[in-house]
Amino acid sequence: MNKSWYPPPSRPRPVEGGLKARSARGAIARTWWSERFIAVLEDIGLGNRLQRGRTYARKGQVISLEVDPGSVTAEVQGSRARPYRIRIGIPAFGKSEWAHVERSLAENAWYTAKLLSGETGDRWPSMLPDGNHFVFWVRGDKSGICVGSLDSLEHTFLFENVSNAVYAAPGYLLFVKDQSLMAQPFSASGLEPRGEATPVVEHVAVNKPSYRGVFSASDDGMLVYQSGGESGAWHLQWADRGGKLTQSLPAQATFLEPAISPDGKRIAVAFGDYGGGGSNIDVWIFDIVRGTKTRLTFDPANDSMPMWTPDGGKIVYVSNRKGKNDLYMKSADGSGSEEPVLVDDSD
């Protein structure tokens, strides 16, 4: 397979006097509620775009920033000649919505206590042998592993970690730390760690947007795991019906919604500009036989979810260039102009 079809990573164009984030590395959020907002965006599949956004913000690529009720709009200079605008919007709460929130908090002080303690989410429970207690991961000002029970809302914080833990017999908590799967001796009766954690295997994958290590352990001691690092970029691979790998693209990207052509010789897929220097998602065509890659869409908006027409001659895709998700169509060889298929006020 010809690897020359992958261009060198593009870099953002320099900006004079751009807005810069205060943090140079690590977490970019300064409060638990802003950290939680970023986590929600990551959970809906925007993790890689947010990572690029952090890089741009720290380099001073943000030209302007407007904060309004229910929306934030920025003008950003990417690798293209013209800056692009990006907006994040959520419906602003009115008086009735805030009144409902206040009533809910007043009815159960546990919710208020959780918010005041900085805890913004509980995930990935793993039951302990007694069938009543369980360990789980909590996100907050101090994220980590906790132990709780089915008959109480109280829980005990055990230790900090950026992803989940799983109980494994006869008495261990398994979790990923710095890409190593660790085994922490744990007393299921005393509900507390004992001694130091030791590494079991290295290079274990973590699904970063969901804060979950990709591994599992059975009661009889069987351990399965996926090797790799933090997810967010993938290889496109082909396998026959027997599960044997037959072909793989050499580069990594956040490939979205791949669609194979009716003749099986091409694949349409959406992903951001190679190298993370671009500003949006576009549709590309990979010719599996020739080993070539062709960009199909060029609009500054997001173009994704490609679909082949039955004859393989055209690609139908979704674009949000008018603020809503509409359908457009273009010849699969890139010739001619794109044409709207369905454009309306719905989303």
* Mean pLDDT by groups of 10 residues along the chain of 347 residues: 49 83 65 67 62 79 86 86 83 79 70 59 85 88 87 88 90 91 93 92 80 82 77 68 75 76 89 52 88 87 89 92 85 92 71
- Whether residue 97 lies inside any domain: the answer is no
- Does 332 fall in a domain? yes
pLDDT value, residue 52: 73
- Are 328 and 243 contained in the same domain? yes
Residue 98 forms part of a structural domain: no
**Within a domain: 191:** yes
Print the domain residue range for 152: 125-225
Q: Write down the pLDDT at residue 199.
A: 92
Q: Which two tokens stand for residue 276?
A: 């993370």
pLDDT computed for residue 44 by the predictor: 59
Instruction: Report the distance separating Cα 290 and Cα 145, nearest Å.
Output: 50
Decide if 100 is inside a domain. Answer: no
Is 289 within a domain?
yes
User: What CATH number does the domain containing 328 carry?
Assistant: 2.120.10.30
pLDDT at position 134: 93
How many domains is the chain partitioned into structurally? Answer: 3
pLDDT of residue 23: 64
Which of 67, 89, 111 is a domain's end point?
A: 89
Res 196: pLDDT: 92
pLDDT for the residue 9? 52
- Whether 96 is covered by a domain: the verdict is no
333, 257: one domain: yes
> Given this model, what pLDDT does residue 275 score?
39
278 shares a domain with 312? yes
The structure's pTM equals 0.47
Domain contains 155: yes
